[in-house]
């Protein structure tokens, strides 16, 4: 893993830690699977993994936060 990827991954983890309490409150969680070429791959778990609103949570919430706060992040993909 290059230093740039490690830096982006660390920043992504920091943002996810800020968001995690909101997910946990609703019985869910998020797991960082991989960061590759600006694409962050995440796995929604618990209640978030089966929630009909999970796409909105992923795109409107998590993706917006990551693209705003972490330079180099361009997209979020959900991994099952």
Which of 55, 53, 80, 72 shows the shortest CA–CA distance to 12?
Answer: 72
pLDDT score recorded for residue 1? 67
Alpha carbon distance 62, 57 (integer Å): 6
Task: Supply the range of the domain harboring residue 19.
Answer: 3-78
Angle CA 43–49–50, to nearest 5: 160
C-beta separation of 42 from 30 below 8 A: yes
Convert the pLDDT of each residue in 17-62 to its tens digit.
999 999 999 899 999 999 999 999 999 999 988 888 888 889 889 9
Q: What is the pTM of this model?
A: 0.90
DSSP 26: T
What is the residue whose two structure tokens read 């590759």? 36
Domains held by the chain: number:
1
Check pLDDT > 80 for residue 5.
no
- 33: domain CATH number is 3.30.300.130
């Amino acid at each position: 893993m290059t230093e740039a990827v490690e830096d982006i991954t660390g920043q992504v983890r920091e943002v996810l830690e800020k968001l995690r309490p909101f997910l946990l409150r609703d019985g869910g969680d998020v797991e960082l699977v991989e960061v590759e070429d600006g694409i962050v791959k995440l796995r929604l778990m618990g209640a978030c993994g089966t929630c009909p609103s999970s796409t909105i949570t992923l795109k409107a919430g998590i993706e917006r936060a990551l693209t705003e706060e972490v330079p180099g992040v361009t997209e979020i993909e959900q991994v099952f």
